[in-house]
Structure 1
Amino acid sequence: MEILKNIFNQFQVKQTVVKIEVLASGHINDTYLVYCSNGLNYVLQKINDQVFNNLNDIILNKVIVSNHLKTSYQKSNNKYQIAGFIKTENDAFFVEAHNGCWTLMEYIPKSKTIDRAHNEKQVFEASKLFGNFIAHTEALNTEGIIETLPKFHSVPFRFFQFEEALKQAKASRKAKAQELISFALEQQKEMFLLSELKEKDNFPIRVTHNDAKLSNILFDKEDNGLAVIDLDTVMPGIVHFDFGDSIRSICSNTVEDSEDLEGTTINLKFYEAFCKGFALETSNILTSEEKRYLPLGVKTIIFIMGLRFLTDYLNNDVYYKTAFKEHNLVRAKNQMALLKSAIQNYDEIKRITYSSFNL
């Protein structure tokens, strides 16, 4: 605790630390809640330099976006909040100490995170916040935001990785994954479409979150949305990938490593709740072309995640942490089952989407 206190004291906060606790949320960074004697709390975070090797750019993106949102919310009397960053004594936004890069953020009081949605209200509130994020960063110049993870949602790039893994994969792994391999190859043409349209400038490049899952939303005790958090992956991108990733993670009837493949389906009630909330915040700024391709964003992101899990399985599990021997194969099967559900329900998905956006 003394080490954490010493790091905290290098920021421009002249308060006495009462205690420091580990925050439960988050799987990449080390995050701590710092309690101070004046009743204010702060979030001290060590950025994982094993995952992010361009920490200056990551932090710069986070600071630019959070400052912009704070100003935008204040000007528009927006009810949502954003955790601002505290400067160090040297007027920087991070401290390099104890084999890490540390930032200090404001703590949003009386807030909680939710890992899985239990009702349509939680989905609706999350969708409004992610939509609000897109709407309120529209005025931000994307040229000032650095692409810290190039090709992150590029299907051609992910497919190239898959093909390379396939070339060197063990015969035993290829045999176990053969059905998934065949299915991935069958979907290739349609799954390339969004990337091709992006390259042809069919869509505006926006500031996107790129990890738009439920656990990156703060709620109050009544499940009202408060704030979007975890801006580590903020980059320029297209809206379809944030929309699709939200649906993939929030609107599935199982968790992503469930072996209940029959139960791994799109929850259409949750999907409708998400569309309605997202449309409330973004209808006035998204182009007709963007809206029309939102359903394809759902299929594309599910495909990307299924393909990435499958690729890692063929590569002998070198990227994702696994809890058991064929964890990545289970994840890949789960995501491809979810994609099949999206394909089977695609007409209804499009109907709900177009109705929500008045297309």
Structure 2
Amino acid sequence: NEFLRGHINDSYTIDVRNTCSFFLQRINQHVFRDPEGLIENLILVNQAMNTHFGKERNSYPRIIRNRNKKYFYLDKDGNYWRMMDFVPESRSYNICESTAIAREGAAAFGRFQFIMNKEDPANYIPTIPDFHHLGKRLDQLKQAIDKDAFSRAGIASKEIAFARERMYYATELDNLLQDGSIPIRVTHNDTKLNNVLFNKEGKDFICVVDLDTVMPGTVLYDYGDMVRTFTSPVEEDEPDPAKVIFRTEIFDALTEGYLSELKGSLNEAEKEQLLFGGKMMLLMIGVRFLTDFLEGDHYFKTSRENHNIERCRNQFVLLKQIEEQEDDLQEIIRKYA
């Protein structure tokens, strides 16, 4: 049965004795250029979960070996396939509906990070090189502005100005990474709420999924992407930016949940720069939408005219709202750190 959630890999569920038992995927090699390296990362994550949970780890989906004792199948057309356990009686959320969901969802990512902190980043390949490289994303934006191949720079003039005013974020991030104050860890790198599976009642987390982007990164990326995706009450492609509201109570709850699982695990610089992570991720994803808009909407799927510029505006609206209450938000982080 085709499984339509997700936009990258082709996914299918496999029923055994009328029960959904396995999750089969064809890896998208346009996005993941080293499928065997990606599989090696997943094996390491599975081993880390086994070590941490032991016999109690049955909620984390295993990657399954085939009859040739490999964790992937290479078909005659050069496609890579892999199969994992399907997690039954689970659900996920696209919108964070309450502080309880925010706290529990962020705790799931915090628990995952706590386990991954024991892993050596040198053992993991970058499955998408430069995935969160803000400097390169801004360079791509500059090139798109200069070319203006689709004559859209005028429509996006306010958003271009907004991004240009914050290009110094890239230098700040580079400085934090180069001086070693923010360590490289094994991180999830795609911490949207819908990448957490909850139990069928929707209250307790089971596990985090979508592990293809697990690779070397920083907690700023993961915390920042939670801030970006949990705090608004509407989808990121909401056409009315007035409905995009930064919900402080959700921010408080996700911060509590995430840091409750990481007590004693983060250094002082990481805790102090968590909010910068949120700002940086909002800027970066907004810049990616803006760049795609200027280049003719070739990367992100669109369903209407100006879809990508609307997505960009929503990211920048959230970022602006964070900037307007930065001191108060830092106090919330310090309360739980």
The unaligned stretches of length 5 or more in structure 1 are 1-20
Q: Which residue of 1 aligns with 2:160?
A: 181
User: Is it true that 1:97 corresponds to 2:75 in the alignment?
Assistant: yes
2:243 maps to which of 263, 267, 270: 263
Instruction: Provide, for residues 159-191 of structure 1, a one-character-per-residue CA deviation record: whole Å limited to 9, x for no partner.
Output: 111111111014731111111111111111235
Determine if contact 1:23/1:32 at 8 Å carries over to the other structure.
yes
Q: Which residue of 1 aligns with 2:173?
A: 194
User: Is it true that 1:148 corresponds to 2:106 in the alignment?
Assistant: no
Determine if contact 1:191/1:303 at 8 Å carries over to the other structure.
no
Letter in 2 for 1:54: D
Instruction: Provide, for residues 41-77 of structure 1, a one-character-per-residue CA deviation record: whole Å limited to 9, x for no partner.
Output: 11111112232221111111112112211221228x5
Q: Which residue of 2 aligns with 1:353?
A: 333
For structure 1, which segment, 50-59 or 296-305, has the greater mean C-alpha deviation from structure 2 after superposition? 50-59
Q: Which residue of 2 aligns with 1:7?
A: none
1:41 maps to which of 14, 21, 29: 21
Instruction: Provide, for residues 66-102 of structure 1, a one-character-per-residue CA deviation record: whole Å limited to 9, x for no partner.
Output: 2211221228x57x83111110111111112264211
Paired with 2:316 and 2:20, the residues of 1 have a C-alpha distance of: 46
Determine if contact 1:96/1:102 at 8 Å carries over to the other structure.
yes
Q: Which residue of 2 aligns with 1:273?
A: 253
TM-score by length of 2: 0.94
2:115 maps to which of 136, 160, 174: 136
Determine if contact 1:309/1:328 at 8 Å carries over to the other structure.
yes
**Using a 3 Å threshold, how does the CA distance of structure 1 residues 261 and 39 change in structure 2: closer, same or farther?**
closer
For structure 1, which segment, 168-177 or 319-328, has the greater mean C-alpha deviation from structure 2 after superposition? 168-177
Paired with 1:304 and 1:192, the residues of 2 have a C-alpha distance of: 13
Q: Which residue of 1 aligns with 2:96?
A: 117
Of structures 1 and 2, the larger Rg is shown by 1
Letter in 2 for 1:97: D
Determine if contact 2:150/2:294 at 8 Å carries over to the other structure.
no
User: Is it true that 1:295 corresponds to 2:275 in the alignment?
Assistant: yes
Q: Which residue of 2 aligns with 1:161?
A: 140
The unaligned stretches of length 5 or more in structure 2 are none
**Using a 3 Å threshold, how does the CA distance of structure 1 residues 191 and 253 change in structure 2: closer, same or farther?**
farther
User: Is it true that 1:336 corresponds to 2:316 in the alignment?
Assistant: yes
Paired with 2:150 and 2:116, the residues of 1 have a C-alpha distance of: 48
Question: Secondary structure at 1:252's aligned position in 2?
Answer: coil
Instruction: Provide, for residues 173-219 of structure 1, a one-character-per-residue CA deviation record: whole Å limited to 9, x for no partner.
Output: 11111111111111112353123211221111111111100111110
Letter in 1 for 2:94: D
Question: Secondary structure at 2:206's aligned position in 1?
Answer: strand
Instruction: Provide, for residues 120-145 of structure 1, a one-character-per-residue CA deviation record: whole Å limited to 9, x for no partner.
Output: 11111111110011100111111110
Using the TM superposition, give the Cα deviation of residue 113 of structure 1 relative to its aligned residue in structure 2, in angstroms.
1.8
Query: Identity of aligned pairs, percent?
Result: 33
Paired with 2:20 and 2:296, the residues of 1 have a C-alpha distance of: 47
Paired with 2:4 and 2:278, the residues of 1 have a C-alpha distance of: 29
Letter in 1 for 2:164: L
Give the count of matched residue pairs: 335
Paired with 2:272 and 2:284, the residues of 1 have a C-alpha distance of: 20
Determine if contact 2:196/2:207 at 8 Å carries over to the other structure.
yes
Letter in 1 for 2:73: V
Letter in 2 for 1:179: K
Instruction: Provide, for residues 282-331 of structure 1, a one-character-per-residue CA deviation record: whole Å limited to 9, x for no partner.
Output: 12200111000000100000000001111111112221111112111111
Determine if contact 2:13/2:20 at 8 Å carries over to the other structure.
no
TM-score by length of 1: 0.89
Using the TM superposition, give the Cα deviation of residue 37 of structure 1 relative to its aligned residue in structure 2, in angstroms.
2.4
Paired with 1:159 and 1:356, the residues of 2 have a C-alpha distance of: 33
Using the TM superposition, give the Cα deviation of residue 33 of structure 1 relative to its aligned residue in structure 2, in angstroms.
1.7
